[in-house]
Chains A and B, each alone.
Chain A
Amino acid sequence: MLNSLFSSTTIPVLEQVVNFSQARHQVLAGNIANLDTPGYRTRDLSPDVFSAQLKKVLADQQRASSLPGPGASASGSSGWTQARLSEVSQGLETLVRHDEVNVGVEQQVTELAKNQMQHNLALSIMTSQFRLLQAAVSERA
């Protein structure tokens, strides 16, 4: 019951986005630290692949919940969604791109800034959702 409390909001999705942008930040910071290392190849976590995987998981979840199931309780479907969504974050290992192209410092810094913007956005929305849930629970707006 308590798990389905969160699955009615967008908190699981945003959780995955925040996890992804944190992991990507580490990779990009490593790139910038190794700018002068000879023979270093820049790595990146592809955000396009991540959002495609997320989209697939969400579409599967919607199809599953729209099917009329006799025992498809809310807790069951939300637990399955959590498992699928965490699969996305575990699959982050496969998203690492090893570029042959020598990407310069401007690109790395820009990717870092874009990642930061996405991270802050997802975090702010998640915070406001939590605040809304707390207001509903405490009956005090």
Chain B
Amino acid sequence: MISALDISTSALVAQRTRLTAIANNIANVSTTRNEQGEIEAYQPRHVIFQTDERTSGSLGAAGVQVSSVEIEDVEPRWRYQPGHVDANDEGWVAYPAVDLMTEFTDALEATRAYEANVGVIEVTKDLAQQTLRILA
């Protein structure tokens, strides 16, 4: 039963990482330069989940881990702004291809998954409490 807590915790950590990546994407929705200051549109990041055997419980139950944070390679959104500092020679500015709707939906899903795992932890703690009632 105690290993169920570890499994739920691994899910909490993974969903938190996912939320961090989503927050990153939403914060950089208009970023036209990269970390070095060069003109390069921000590429959205997304996380890849993977079943984690390290937090495996009995009978093949396993937790989850973030295997990698992938940087997408998509075509940026182009806007015609000839007066913009970061415009290219034809006057087009490259904005990140971050779709706010998709990001918000992913954030909702991650939040619900987080809450579901917290609910599982509550149930596990309740089970342990009830087990103690065997000792009258």
Contact = CB atoms under 8 A, between A and B. Distances in A.
Interface of A: 104, 106-107, 110, 113-114, 117-118, 120-121, 124-125, 127-128
Given A104-B13, A104-B16, A117-B125, A110 B132 contact: no
Given A104-B13, A104-B16, A106-B13, A113 B132 contact: no
Nearest to A118: B2
Interface of B: 2, 5-6, 8-9, 12-13, 16, 121, 125, 128-129, 131-132, 135
Contacts of B13: 104, 106-107
A110 B128 contact: no
A124 B132 contact: yes
* B contact patch SS: helix
Given A110-B5, A121-B132, 19 more contacts: A104-B16, A106-B9, A106-B12, A107-B13, A113-B5, A113-B125, A114-B2, A114-B5, A117-B128, A118-B2, A120-B128, A120-B129, A120-B132, A121-B128, A121-B131, A124-B132, A124-B135, A127-B135, A128-B135
A117 B2 contact: yes
19 contacts: A104-B16, A106-B16, A110-B6, A110-B8, A110-B9, A110-B121, A113-B121, A113-B125, A117-B2, A117-B125, A117-B128, A118-B2, A120-B128, A121-B128, A121-B132, A124-B132, A124-B135, A125-B135, A127-B135
B65 to A, nearest CB: 13
A69 to B, nearest CB: 36
Contacts, number: 33
Contacts of B12: 106
A120 B1 CA distance: 15
Nearest to B133: A124
A114 to B, nearest CB: 5
Nearest to B12: A106
Nearest to A108: B9
A110 B135 CA distance: 25
Q: Most B CB atoms within 10 A — which of A104, A110, A118, A128?
A: A110
B118 to A, nearest CB: 9
A124 B2 CA distance: 17
Contacts of B125: 113, 117
B57 to A, nearest CB: 13
A20 to B, nearest CB: 16
